[in-house]
Amino acid sequence: MSSDFSAYATGDLLRMINDGEDHGEDFAYHALWGTVFGRWRKGIDLEPLIELLQSEKSGERERGAWYLDEADPPADRMADVIIKLANDPVGHCRWRFVAYVTNSKLYNEAIADRLVACLLDLDLYVRARTIFWAVVTDCKTFAHFSEAVLSGAGTKPYKFRNPETTAFWRESERKRAARGIEIAQRLRAGESVTNIRESMPEEDSFSFDQLDFSVRQ
């Protein structure tokens, strides 16, 4: 099969990529990187991507989130769609949300709230990606985000029968949020991951492993 897929509809190419049939050597590679992603980068024919991201099936949302990260479509066309990924039960989708926001520099009040939640995510990869976003974003955005974090925006409204339990979890989350901001501040100031890791034994080492990898890229 020819690698010129310009005459094919995007939805048809996606179906052919995933139908399990043999369409020729390197078909999926050429169809995706040579045609589909190129269209999406230009904001053309985004409906199949949006359908995947909004699918009821987690596997399709994961695939859509991967496509989103690879294609990097225009932010103004995707803002209302990608924000839903931040609340997805699948961690893979949540960190792809953070990755897209990092690459696109998309930011507003609603996204700030979702990023606060991602900073506090129990999936440590999501948390680490959010801290890295805070490291590389511009000064104005970081200042706004820091205020949102420290004000408690986007945090979970813990409420247990025992008031002491509620107070404990709220305080624990407050400290975790503040620690995430401090890590980002120190990295922005040029401090090494090694130094910060040594001074913050309460932060999981996985977060620092991921940050060390990210800042070296």
Residue-level pLDDT at 76: 92
Q: What would you report as the CA-atom Rg of the chain, rounded to the nearest whole angstrom?
A: 20
- Rounded CA-CA distance 142/107 in Å is 11
Amino acid occupying residue 168: F
Structure tokens given for 166: 């509620």
Alpha helices in the chain (DSSP H): 10-17, 27-31, 37-41, 47-53, 58-71, 75-82, 91-104, 109-119, 124-136, 139-151, 163-188, 193-199, 205-216
Q: Could you read off the pLDDT tens digit of each residue along the chain, which spans 217 residues?
A: 556 677 789 999 999 888 777 767 788 888 899 899 999 999 999 999 999 999 999 999 999 999 999 999 999 999 999 999 999 999 999 999 999 999 999 999 999 999 999 999 999 999 999 999 999 999 999 999 999 998 876 566 666 677 777 766 678 888 999 999 999 999 999 999 999 999 999 999 999 999 999 998 7
pLDDT for res 161: 73
Domains within the chain, CATH numbers bracketed: 1-106 (1.25.10), 123-217 (no CATH)
Report pLDDT for 69: 94
CA distance 83 to 134: 17
CA distance 180 to 119: 7
Amino acid at 27: F
- Residue partners of 215: CB distance under 8 A and separation at least 6: 132, 135, 187, 193
Those residues with Cβ within 8 angstroms of residue 15's Cβ, 6 or more apart along the chain or in another chain? none
pLDDT at 28: 84
